[in-house]
Amino acid sequence: MNEQEPGWERKFITKLAESSLREQKRARYWSIFFKLLTFAYLITLLVMFSESDIPSNKLTSDHTALVELSGLIADGEKASADNIVSALREAFEDKHTKGVILRINSPGGTPVQAGYIYDEIIRLREKYPDTPLYAVISDMCASGGYYVAAAADKIYADKASIVGSIGVRMDNFGFVEAMKKLGIERRTLTAGENKALLDPFAPVDESINKHMQGLLHSIHQQFIDAVKKGRGDRLKLDVSGLFSGLIWTGEQSLEIGLIDELASAGYVAREVIGEEDIVDFTITDDFFDRLAKRVGATTASLLFEKASQPYMH
């Protein structure tokens, strides 16, 4: 371009602006392309996860229904009464269910949540007398877990499973002496003389301890009554420490009547119920909950790896 040519400055600026606009358009096109690609990827994931949640043979052929009770039996947990009861109801209501397996791997939980599940199992067994329910213990079935299992028609376990712990506990701590050493003064106001019972910053009150021990004994007796009702004359009541909170292996549990046989869920489905095909009715997180958890776990993992990697300076 001849810089002496009249108006060359305007032509140069015009070409520069046109070139910039072309670059901006190209960038927008690529931005839209990648956004569409990301959207398509998320839709594909959604379809894949949604399809994987639906067993192909569910509601179409005879099967053994499976409900997993895993972890702490408590409100808000995966093994809450709401989740387990909802899954059991769906399993029993399915006309193709020939038997239900409640597979348990739990250290226990709250007596209220375990009691809800126990009562619902009894109700469902009475409503659907031709559909048996078997509890199958994997690693552990202790305390509230065994409370639930006792409602089943039969209980199966592995020879090394941990079973029992028929008892009730309430934990507390005391910091009175530590407060004295640190010179800390407790200033708690209450309306009602026992409103601050079991306050860890207050001295032990024997009358309160006696009251709470009576409460624990009452809940413990409810637990014992439920086990006796569920197990009937299969239970060896003369076994020392049976209701004391002790635990046993599956092999030992068979000898004292806590379980009926040593077997896995697959064996029970195939040989006892007679339907080898198993359909899982367990309540699970929806797609977005699982995706959020996976993204969170992946992010945490990446952050940990980056923080723990050595650097060269």
pLDDT beyond 60 at 190: yes
When mean pLDDT is compared across 49-63, 68-82, 222-236, the lowest value belongs to 49-63
pLDDT computed for residue 52 by the predictor: 47
Q: What is the pLDDT of residues 129-186, one digit of tens each?
A: 999 999 999 999 999 999 999 999 999 999 999 999 999 998 888 888 888 888 988 8
pLDDT computed for residue 90 by the predictor: 97
pLDDT computed for residue 56 by the predictor: 47
pLDDT computed for residue 181 by the predictor: 87
Considering 138-152, 187-201, 272-286, the range whose residues carry the highest mean pLDDT is 138-152
Taking residues 50-65, what's their average pLDDT? Answer: 66
The residues spanned by each domain of the chain are 8-53+289-300, 63-283
Q: Residue 116's Cα: distance from chain center in Å?
A: 16
Q: What is the pLDDT of residues 19-39, one digit of tens each?
A: 777 777 777 777 777 777 777
Considering 4-18, 32-46, 75-89, the range whose residues carry the highest mean pLDDT is 75-89
CATH of 63-283 given 3.90.226.10, 3.65.10.10, 3.30.70.580, 3.40.50.2000: 3.90.226.10
Per the CB < 8 A criterion, the answer to whether 104 and 69 are in contact is: yes
